[in-house]
Amino acid sequence: MRTRKNFTSIWDELDYLYCKILKWFYSSTPNYTKSKLFADRLGKLLNKIKPGPMAIRIEEYRSLVCEVKDDLTGAIRHRRREIKLLKRLLSLSEYPKLSSELVGDYSDLVDRLILLSILYQNIGFSQKAINCLKEAKELSKRHRFHFPAGKLLDTYNRQK
């Protein structure tokens, strides 16, 4: 991804910063200094906007900003809100008419539960981590797609 200075909208810039953080924070050769710089910019932008219909995405971004800044409690709080909002959206009768690319689907919910479990494990809440993974596994089974964190669940169960 090229360095950009011009953006078509605030959402374009938010997405750009989010991708930059993912690149520098989670790459095989992480650069925490760069990821923190992008997280600072993203955090400032997030403070300028109202969530509205994009509340799920904003909570996702806030969780990542907190994680990069080593505020795991804040990251958990925002990830839990994101999951709560996504569950509410998925339960709406109108949900099937919405585009899953725009709003998310059950595989996104499973991914978020896995991320939440990792955050819980990182602060020593092993049982909460396991419960998140079990919920994610059940959702995967119910909606007939592969559960991507089977080995992680086994590892957490062994560490209990």
pTM here?
0.91
Closest by CA position to 14, among listed 52, 65, 71, 53: 65
CA distance 27 to 18: 14
What pLDDT, on a 0 to 100 scale, did the predictor assign at position 97? 67
What pLDDT, on a 0 to 100 scale, did the predictor assign at position 45? 97
- Domain spans in the chain, listed from the N-terminal domain onward: 50-159
- Alpha helices by DSSP H, 27-54: 32-46
Alpha-carbon Rg for the chain, nearest whole angstrom, is 16
Q: Which CATH class is domain 50-159?
A: mainly alpha
DSSP 68-132: HTT-HHHHHHHHHHHHHHHHHHHHSTTGGGS-HHHH--HHHHHHHHHHHHHHHHHTT-HHHHHHH
pLDDT in tens, the chain (160 residues): 688 889 999 999 999 999 999 999 999 999 999 999 999 999 999 999 987 888 999 999 999 999 999 999 999 999 999 999 999 988 887 776 665 555 678 999 999 999 999 999 999 999 999 999 999 999 999 999 999 999 999 999 999 7
